[in-house]
Structure 1
Amino acid sequence: MELWRPEKHHLEESNVAKYITSHGIKGLDDFLSLTFDKPEEFWRSFEKEVLKLGWYEEYIKVLDLSKGVQWPRWFVGGKINIADQLEDSSRPLVKWEGEDGSTAVWSYSEVLYKAKAVASWLKRNGLEKGDRVAIFMPMVPEIIPVMLGAIRAGGVIVPLFSGFGKEAIRVRLEDSEAKFVFASDISYRRGKEIDMLSELRAGLTPSVKRVVVQERSGRSSGYTPLSEVFKTGGDHVERADAEDPIMIIYTSGTTGKPKGTVHTHDGFPVKAAADVYFHFDVSEGETLSWVTDMGWMMGPWMVFAAYLLRGSMAFFEGAPDYPKDRLWRFVERFKVNALGLAATLTRYLRSIGAAAEPGQLDSLKAFGNTGEPIDVESWLWLYRMGRGRIPIINYSGGTEISGGILGCYVVRPIKPSSFNGPSIGTKAAVFTEDGRPAPPGVEGELVVLSVWPGMTRGFWRDPQRYLETYWNKWPGVWAHGDAAVVDEEGFFYILGRADDTIKVAGKRLGPAEIETVLNAHPAVAESACIGVPHEIKGEVPVCFVVLKPGYEPSEALRRELIKLTEEALGKAFGAVEDIRFVKMLPKTRNAKIMRRVIRAVYLGRNPGDLSALENPEAIEEIKRAL
C-alpha cells in the first residue's frame, strides 16, 4: 500500500515539528495530549507565541468550566475585537480570480481601510452591538472587508450561501432577525449571469432596516451602493468581550429549520488558525485557498485563519472546472501553498481527466480534503499528481467545531483516506452503542472527550436543541454523528454520517465502504449508497452511480458492479440490492453528496431542508432512475 511519508524538512521545519522541539515535547502524541488534556496551557501559548493577538484588556483566565463542559468560557475577562488584528501593510491579503480570468490582489492596508469604512458606516446608520448583519455575496474580494467591517463594528455576521433562493434567505433572515444586509446584485457561474438581487428582494423580512448592494451589473439597485460605503472612511471599532458573538452560521438539518451555530471572537477564528497552522503547515506570508462559498464554514474558516496567521487567502468566483484546467492554473498563478477541496470535486476532476500539468503544483505544500470521506482511488490520484511529495491532509469536523475533530500531521506517515490523529484540542475517540471505546476495526460513532475554543456557543436562541443534538447521548461526551473506525495502528477513518449508516442484518455498514469499491471501477465517476428497508435484513444498500464519459448504462454493467461489491465485501453483508444509473447526484455547493435527500426521494418522503442543494435537477434524475 502506498503511503505518504514525511521528508526531513517536515520532521524538522514544519510548524508542528518546531512547536514540539521548542517546547521540549517528546513527540506528536505528547503534543496532542497537551492540546486537549492541558487546554489552558496550550491555548495560552498558541495565542501568545503564534497569533500574538492585540488585546485591549488582558484575560485573567484561559478557561472557565463552571457551567459544565457543554458551556465553557474562554479567555475570561479579555477585551478584544478579532477583526481589529489587521496589520497596516502592503503585504497581499486577498488574491482573487474572476471566472473570466480577471484578477485582483488587495493588500492588508486596502482591506483594513475598507473594513474601517464599513464599520463606521454601520455605526452611523444605527448598528448597535450584537445586531446581526447578513451577507449574501459570491466569492468576490469585497466580501472580506464587509465581513471584517461588520465584526469590527460590533455586529454579528450571518453568511448566506450565494446560491440560496428566496425561501432559504427568508428563513435565515427571520431566524437571525438581521438588521442589515450586504449583497451583490449578480454573480457569475459557468459563463452565466445569475440574478441574486431578485432572490434577496423576495426573501427580505421586516427586521431588515438597511440593504447595501455591490452593483456589479452596472444597473442601479435602488439600495445603498457598496462602493459609496467604501468611500465614506472612518475608524470605528467596538471593544468586545472575548466571548461576544461574531457570527451565526447556519447548517441544514435533516428535518426542521436550519441550526444557527453561534461563534465568538475567541472561538472560531482561534481554532481555525490553529488547525491551519498545525495541520496544513501554513506560516506567515504563505497562501491558503479552499474551494468553497462564504455561506459554508470553510469560507470564514479560510478568512480568519489566513489573516490571523498573517498570510494570504486565494479564492475564485465560479466553477473550478470552467475551463477544465482552471483549478491548477489558479494554484500556479497565485502560488497557493495549501489547497482544500471536497472529495466529490476530486472524484469529478479525476473522472474528466483534469490533472495538473508539470510545474503547476510547485508551490503547493498540502492538499486538504474535507466535506466527506475520500475514496482510495481519488486519494491516490492526488498523491500521484503530487508525485508523492504533497501530503493529503484529510480533515473532518464541522460548523459546530470551527474546524476539525480529526486531521493529519506532516510529521507522521499518512495512509490513503486516513486521519493520522485527532485535531488540535479535540480528544477524539470512537464509541460503540454502549458508550465504550470501540476496539480496533470496529465501527462506532465519532465522539470528543475534551473542550476547545471553537465549540459553538449553542444554537441561536435554541440552547436545548444544541444539548439534544450533541450532549444527550452519553454524559459529558460530544457525540458528533459521524460513523468512524480506528485501525490497529491508531489511524482514524470516517465512514459517513452515522445517520447514513446502513444496517444489514444488524451489522453496520458505512456508505463509503461500498462507494469506495464502486468508484474504483474504470467506468464509474462517482456513486452514492443509501440504506432502504428490507423485510428480512432490516436494510439493504441501494446505490446510484454516475458513469464517466464514454460509458453507457447497461444491465451487464449493473450486474458487474453488484458482483464487484459482493466480492469485495462479502455476498451476505456487502451485496448491493440494486444499482441505478444517473447523470448527477444531489450536492451542496461545497460538492458534498446529500444522501439523505436521495433516500427521502427513494422512499417517497419529504426530503426536508433543500436550501443547501446546488443542483435541484438532480432530484428529478433520481426520480427518473426509479
Structure 2
Amino acid sequence: MAAAARPGSPGPAGTGASRCSRRGQRIPPAPLSAAGRAGCRRPGALRLRLRGGPAPGASSPLGAAAGGGIRPQCTARRTDSISLTSPAGRPPGPAGPAPRPPRRHRQPATGVGPGAAPAPGTAPAPPSGTAPAPAPGTEPAPGTAPGTAPPPEPVNCLDQHVEKSPNRVALIWERDEPGTAVHVTYRELLDLTCRLANTLKKYGIQKGDKVAIYMSVSPLSVAAMLACARIGAVHTVVFAGFSAESLAGRITDSGCKAVITYNQGVRGGRIIELKATVDEAVKNCPSIKHVFVAQRTDNKVQMGDRDIPLEEEMAKAASVCPPESMDSEDMLFMLYTSGSTGKPKGIVHSQAGYLLYAALTHKYVFDYQQGDVFGCVADIGWITGHSYVVYGPLCNGATSVLFESTPVYPDPGRYWEVVQRLKINQFYGAPTAIRLLLNYGEEWVKKYDRSSLKTLGSVGEPINNEAWQWFYQVVGEGRCTLVDTWWQTETGGICIAPRPSEEKAEIVPAMAMRPFFGIVPVLMDENGKVIEGNDVSGALCIAQPWPGMARTIYGDHQRFVDAYFKAYPGYYFTGDGAYRTKKGYYQITGRMDDVINISGHRLGTAEIEDAMADHPEVPETAVIGYPHKIKGEGAFAFIVVKEQTAHIDRVKEELKTIVASKIAKYAVPDHILVVKRLPKTRSGKIMRRLLRKVVTEQSGNMGDVTTLDDPNVVKEILDAYQKYKEKSSS
C-alpha cells in the first residue's frame, strides 16, 4: 500500500474481498519524529556509496515508500462463490472498483463466515460497535482514549521503519559490476522517495495519474515505484528489455502522462540503450508530457524538450512529502502480462489488500525474521519483483537485495558469490536459472560459502525433480527449507507453497503442496463440477476472494470476467491444472492449455517434460499437444541437447524409454525435435503456445511475441521444423 489507505472502504463490490476494520474517517498523515527525520532535510548532491553502507547522516538519492497514513487491519469475508457485480448489479469500471455503498458500521469479518468461530490462533473479533483491539505490544498513542482509533501510524514501507530504526539497511543493490554493492538505509530511501515524489508533483503528476517506469533494477527504480504510490499516482513498470513498440503499447493502453527511465542500462556486461528506446516509443504516445531521465552510466544521451534530468531536479526538491490519503481499493499499480490474443493485459492491483497479502506471504512462506537478508533475484518488471523485492520485504522492514546482473556474469558462480558476500538468508529464484546453472556443475556452487542460507524458493513455473534435488542438495546442502511456490501476476502473492505449515512438516520435492491462509483451492471437472476427495486431477480454481487478488484488467473489465470467472462461474479459474495427492497436497501439472488428452488419458505436458529432463544430455525440454487422427491428441517434444552430444537418434530413443518407464507408453512423444534453444520470455518462461503454432502450421498468426527474450528464436524453430518435416516425409 503506497499511499495512505483510507479505512472502512469496501473491497470489490460483492466479492467479499478485504475491508479495513476502522471506521472510515479520512485521517491526515502524521509527521515523523525529529529523530526519524534527522538527516533527511538537507538538500545537496545525490550520491551512492559503493560496498559499505552510507556514511551516518549522509543524504542519498535512494528513498522510496509506499506511502499511506495508516496500516489498515484488513480481513476477508468468506463467500460461497465469487461475485463480480456491485450491489446494483454493475461490474466495477475499467479504471477502478464499483461505486461504494453507503458507509455503515460493521463488525470485521473473520474469513470463515458470519457467526463462525475465528480461525485457530486468531483472536476473536471485537463486539459490534467497538474499535479493534490494538496489536500485541502496541499502546494507544499519547492523548488517545482507550477504545478509540489512534492517530495514523507511520507509512507502511518506509516511514514506520525510519521512525524506529532509521539506519537499518533497506536495500542492497548488487550492481552488474562484480563485487560492487550499494547499501541503502531506510532513512536514505525515504529521502530519495520524497524528493522524487516532489519532483513528479512539480511537473504536474497528481493522484490518479499513470506513470510508466522503464528502468533497470536499482534503488532509484524502487524509489520511482514508491514515489508514485506516495502521491497517489499509479505506476506501471515495464521490463527494461522490452522493445519500443511494446513500451508504446503499454503507455498508450494505460494513458501514462510521464515516463521515468535511465540514460542507459547495464546487464551482463552489456550496455542497454534505455533512453533511445523511450524516445522511439513516445513518438507515438501523445499522452506523455515529460520523460524523467536518470544517469546509470556516464555516457551522454540526447535530451529533448520534454526530457527532464531527474537527479538535478531531485537535488532541488524538498525531502519531505506528505503521503496522499487513499481509499483501500484505489489502484496501486498496473502490470502488463502477455495474452494469446495479441494484446497485453493491464492487471490492476489495489492499495491495502495487495500490500497486506505481499507482506504476509513474504513473512510466513519464507520464515522471514528481523535482521535477515532477503535475496529475490527477480527483476522489478515482473510481479515477483513487485511483491518480493519491493512491497513485501519493505513493509516487513527487511533488507532486500536488488540483483541487476545475470546468473552467469562474469561466471556461473555469480549467485553463490553474492550469497557469500552479502550473507543472504533467503534465496528466491526461477527454475530456468537453476536448470541453467545445473549444467555448469557443482564446482561453481561449492566454491563459495552458503552457510548463511536458511530458505530456498522457486518461482515462475513448476520445477522439475532434477532441478529441485540439485537446488536442495547442492545449493542448500540438504539443510535448507526449499519452497516451490505457485502463484500468478493476477493473485498478487504466493497462493500455494510447502510453508507455512506445522513445524518440521514434510516437504515433497517439486510440489507446491499447501494453500496459504485464506486460499481455498478446488479442482473442477470438464462439466464445471467440484471434484471431491484425494488422488484426483482437474482444473485448479479458487473458491473465495483473498486480499491480493487482481481487481480488473485496465480498460476492459469484461475481458477480466471472461478470462478468470466465465469458465467456472462463482470461482476464480487459474488456467492451471492440478493433481491433489492421496494426502491432500497440490501438485501443479501445468497450464490447462498444456494439458493433453491422449486416447482418453489426460496428461500434463509438464509431467512428460519432467521425465525427459532426467536424461543427462538434455538440459531443456518443452512438450505440447497436437491433433492426432487416431489418438485425438499426441505429444510433440522440443529438446535442447548439450553441445558435445553426438548421437542424437540414440538420445531420442532413450528419451522415449524414460517416458514409457516413468509415466506410461501412451505418454511417449510421437515426435522429438532438436532445437538450439526454446522460445522464452525475458523472465525465463517457455512460450509453449508459439511451439503449438509451429506444429499446427499457424505460424502466420503468432499473437503477442513482445515478451520473447529474442524474437529471432521463432524463425530458428520454424526452419528446424521444416527440415524435420522434409526428412520425415522422405
TM bracket (short chain): 0.7 to 0.9
8 Å CA contact 2:67, 2:229 repeated in 1: no
Counterpart Cα distance in 1 of 2:480 and 2:212:
38
Aligned to 1:99: 176
Counterpart Cα distance in 2 of 1:42 and 1:443:
37
Query: Is 1:607 matched up with 2:702?
Result: yes
AA partner of residue 308 (structure 1): C
Counterpart Cα distance in 2 of 1:306 and 1:260:
24
Counterpart Cα distance in 2 of 1:400 and 1:504:
31
Offset at 1:532?
1.1
Q: Which moved more, 1:591-600 or 1:108-117?
A: 591-600
Offset at 1:283?
2.4
Offset at 1:618?
2.3
Equivalent of 1:224 in 308, 327, 336: 308
Aligned to 1:353: 441
Counterpart Cα distance in 1 of 2:589 and 2:82:
31
Query: Is 1:124 matched up with 2:176?
Result: no
Compared with structure 1, are the counterparts of its residues 453 and 172 closer, same or farther at alpha carbon in structure 2 (3 Å cutoff)?
Answer: same
Equivalent of 1:555 in 635, 639, 649: 649
Query: Is 1:319 matched up with 2:319?
Result: no
Counterpart Cα distance in 1 of 2:69 and 2:238:
31
Q: Which moved more, 1:221-230 or 1:236-245?
A: 221-230
1:292-441 maps to which residues of 2 (within 5 A)?
292-302=378-388, 303-322=390-409, 323-353=411-441, 355-357=444-446, 360-385=449-474, 386-409=476-499, 411=503, 412-434=505-527, 435-437=529-531, 439-441=533-535
1:417-566 maps to which residues of 2 (within 5 A)?
417-434=510-527, 435-437=529-531, 439-552=533-646, 554-566=648-660
Greater share of strand = 1
8 Å CA contact 1:86, 1:112 repeated in 2: no
Aligned to 1:33: none
Aligned to 2:135: none
Counterpart Cα distance in 2 of 1:86 and 1:103:
25
8 Å CA contact 2:157, 2:397 repeated in 1: no
1:10-159 maps to which residues of 2 (within 5 A)?
56=69, 62=75, 69-70=83-84, 85=159, 87-88=161-162, 89-101=166-178, 102-159=180-237
Equivalent of 1:275 in 357, 361, 369: 361
Offset at 1:226?
2.2
1:547-583: per-residue Cα shift (whole Å, max 9, x none)?
2343235222212212221222222x21111111122
1:294-328: per-residue Cα shift (whole Å, max 9, x none)?
11101111200111110011022121111210011
Offset at 1:41?
11
8 Å CA contact 1:186, 1:193 repeated in 2: yes
Counterpart Cα distance in 2 of 1:425 and 1:64:
10
Q: Which moved more, 1:460-469 or 1:80-89?
A: 80-89
Offset at 1:409?
1.2
Q: Structure 2: which 5+ residue stretches go unaligned? A: 1-15, 23-65, 87-96, 104-148, 722-730
Counterpart Cα distance in 2 of 1:92 and 1:61:
28
8 Å CA contact 2:18, 2:353 repeated in 1: no
8 Å CA contact 1:483, 1:495 repeated in 2: yes
Compared with structure 1, are the counterparts of its residues 523 and 64 closer, same or farther at alpha carbon in structure 2 (3 Å cutoff)?
Answer: closer
Offset at 1:189?
2.6
Offset at 1:419?
1.9
Compared with structure 1, are the counterparts of its residues 42 and 200 closer, same or farther at alpha carbon in structure 2 (3 Å cutoff)?
Answer: closer
8 Å CA contact 1:114, 1:233 repeated in 2: no
Is the partner of 2:296 in helix, strand or coil?
coil
| C-alpha RMSD of the superposition | 2.7
Is the partner of 2:161 in helix, strand or coil?
coil
8 Å CA contact 2:17, 2:77 repeated in 1: no
Aligned residues: 581
Counterpart Cα distance in 2 of 1:306 and 1:268:
13
Counterpart Cα distance in 2 of 1:565 and 1:529:
12
Offset at 1:57?
6.5
Offset at 1:176?
0.3
Counterpart Cα distance in 1 of 2:215 and 2:364:
30
Q: TM-score, normalised by structure 1?
A: 0.87
Offset at 1:83?
5.4
Greater share of helix = 1
AA partner of residue 326 (structure 1): R
Counterpart Cα distance in 2 of 1:142 and 1:272:
21
8 Å CA contact 2:348, 2:553 repeated in 1: yes
Counterpart Cα distance in 1 of 2:67 and 2:687:
41
Query: Is 1:617 matched up with 2:708?
Result: no
Counterpart Cα distance in 1 of 2:70 and 2:277:
43
AA partner of residue 518 (structure 2): G
AA partner of residue 608 (structure 2): I
8 Å CA contact 1:71, 1:457 repeated in 2: no
Offset at 1:453?
0.9
8 Å CA contact 1:501, 1:511 repeated in 2: yes
AA partner of residue 685 (structure 2): K
AA partner of residue 132 (structure 1): K
AA partner of residue 170 (structure 2): L
8 Å CA contact 1:215, 1:221 repeated in 2: no
Counterpart Cα distance in 2 of 1:334 and 1:212:
32
Compared with structure 1, are the counterparts of its residues 457 and 85 closer, same or farther at alpha carbon in structure 2 (3 Å cutoff)?
Answer: farther
Is the partner of 1:321 in helix, strand or coil?
coil
Aligned to 2:37: none
AA partner of residue 228 (structure 1): E
